[in-house]
A and B are shown apart, each in its own frame.
Chain A
């Protein structure tokens, strides 16, 4: 039939044309597919957009409520610019430093935390006398304590790091509220020379001299959590001490072990002695000397690996070298976990809940669980990320249970964020017993005047 239409010769031509055309059409189709896949085709969309559209059309998810509020009288606030998701924005592009980098201090002058103060005890005593409504003791056995902690003002490199910082902060807020302790969260690097673990030294000094009514400053790392909400520090025990850390005398003075004590959680009294020890502690901290100092510390201290000087090794070295000067006012506490290394604690939480109760503070129910080495905010830690984060969740829930039980709730399990009720609702809420004495403890009682 075709032969009759076109004639023999023409038919051949048509067939050749068709054969070539087949090839051309195939190439054309492939080109279109590839281009559409990579570049998109404007309003015709990309395959991914097609997929999304199909999914949305058939999905039964509710549309998220839009809460566009325009205050009466305010200017037209509707966003004319293209909306971008938070995931698209690089926070670094938002920062602007308006001033010049401050001048570096003279490299030949030795580093100091600030001008030497020699009469702090007298100054402080005078101030306290002039300000009787800002006493340094809330009760005879209860000093005014400020818990200081902090983190970088920049987002964590680990995408869930900030979430864990938030949880750790909530945990500290809870403990401090229950124990009448004030809290300061620092996000400012006060001295660029003392970045990293050394940043706490300028901060502590600044807080001590700015707040003379504070009797003790309690430094706590951002990767440490309270796990005993009922335990109250035995303040009386430290009546004659100025510096309390978790550790062991024999490991520090005997073995010169760099983990003979821990500076992740410590108490420092607000006095001249403390300003002096901060001054003596600081010299290994500045960036320019840290490497050399680190090498020296690795040589001098037992088991210390070689890395830049850290505040913990430096204080061990200082205490050993100048024992006569400092040791009598330093209390190395090991009766309870002022700092508790997480590795030996976290797997035992269920066992603790079974056998013991809050208020012990020691290996049976640790006061503090400190995730040394996990570094949830950074890219690299010393332990597998999954184990660290999972255990931090467990420690958080273990502590949170002790707070939630006040209100009649607890987590479904230590691995679970969800909570469940532990008691039936009642119409007589004031008759509920405060099991661990957390809501209205004696040390939070206010002195009532007899007038």
Chain B
């Protein structure tokens, strides 16, 4: 603790100990505790207490107070816990009987303030901090604290209950830490008293009739098996497993949620990974006894495990597939597809009951679809998934949802009635349909997937969110098909699909709902990006009305749509340029020019930020990818963009402008052989110097530095930071030894200047940039390479970088400031009090 804080601490403690002086803001106390936590990690707690007796006095004072505030008492409990974590300090406090007064039966436990959840929470947290050594454990066992913790497990405040549970986990693992090597059998060994007490409590809770007690114990075990992977956990499990299986066999299973959590937590522990472990018997039992709506999470968790018996995996997969199988069978499908399951794992009647009930059908299907989708993204799935039937069942669900499936049974009729128009299920099914694209091939797509996707894309009843999902799924399939090797026939079929798709898109782009227009544009952007190499795609695209409609949407009244139209046109323009390079394909070159102009106009005139941000990111792409219109006169392009961005008030547009400037400067330096490429041929110093001066002149012509320095002075920190980073890079490139010479020659001091000086310089530059340039070196402003170089060298970029990287509240975060704040708040209260009397 530094000196200033030590000096302030006694007055702060005095304030805290005074029950009349309430600290108005609780967050001060939290910050105060955080500070002590950090202090005790680095310094000796005992020394801290000895050097600052005011702390011990504070604890004593609060204990003596007749009517302390609940927040102060809670604070003291937690503070004492933090100190008592060190064994020496623990002894120190115990000698003064402070611990027993705070955590024993006579302390807050028996006071009226115990009714306050904050006090109970403080007590639990204090004890939790304290349990870092055996002495603390003994103390707690002896003073009856363990029974208090058991009671707090069922506390009405969920925070307290959860903290108590965590505390028990901590105590159990801590007490057994040193015993694990000796354990062979629970009955043969001598477990610590504290651990024994806890285990007996867990066993009794599990045997009790109280659902809440059972859940508490299961939660405790879940946390414990999750954080502790010691050998004794296996011994503990062997003692409890029978009871757990009994809980599973109850009808109905009340604690299924907690049981699933427990199994998942255990299954991830290496202790139970052995295939012979009894855990797997219990998991199998859970997969059999819980209904599909309850067990889905467990099944998917099991399938994600690396170590797991194959039979359990297969069973887990069957559980997930069962509702899908049921749906497939409920619709009359052509017999070309087998069912999803050879045999039913669970009683299929349960699944059918769930599916035929309005409240459970949609949620079971959504859950199952989401779980199955999760499996698609696993890098390795250790079981064989019947992809085609699964895909077919997903398509069937989608058909049911828009009334296209023909029910084959009574169940089918019920499902049909429930699912028609159910957006939730539609969204989940479209998600997995997209995810399944990575496995399957062209024939499957053309079989049924393309039909159902088109049906959703065409249907006027498709809600905007479902439409977006349909677009996403379609994109995934099309990208997949474009990547897969396919025959000519196949691609022709895909082209037919694309033709149908573009007819739909044409309509969607004219939709009166902006969300629809926006999703259609986003979809088009990605489609163009991914399929632009495909001849067929380009032909279909340019023979449709879509490009024209996309351009029209640059003037859409909705700013989001304009932004998406800008991005889409950016991609389309790159594609058009690609075509123009190919022999025999015409494109309106004159038209393209107007696109650049249109986007520049949006950048400088659009009143909304989104379209302007979109323009700048399109320009960055164009610059990176070498858009021919940009390449024609890059300097002019960059210069005009930077000029537009410079006067923009949106910080994201500015940040985009900075990225563009960064790309441009890197390209310029790279083109002249100045890039930091390790394999580039080293140029001679004379050539290098020529190139440097050339680059500098280019930068001056496009007013790059004026823009960067302006951004450095920007009040938005991310803008200034980014500008600073770019300037530092440029400085490293441009201001080598030569700049020093230049600086000396100019007779200017090399002393580093700050922002104020820079702002003044910029003002001077801008006044020089009036229509009539005066031509002298001093007044040449941003156009003069030497002047620019001088400024670049003179501004304290490194210093600015440091200060910009610090968060804005770095001064206010210091402990000294915290202590002063506490005192200041109390002072204000006193003033008010004085006013009152």
The answer to whether A and B belong to the same complex is no
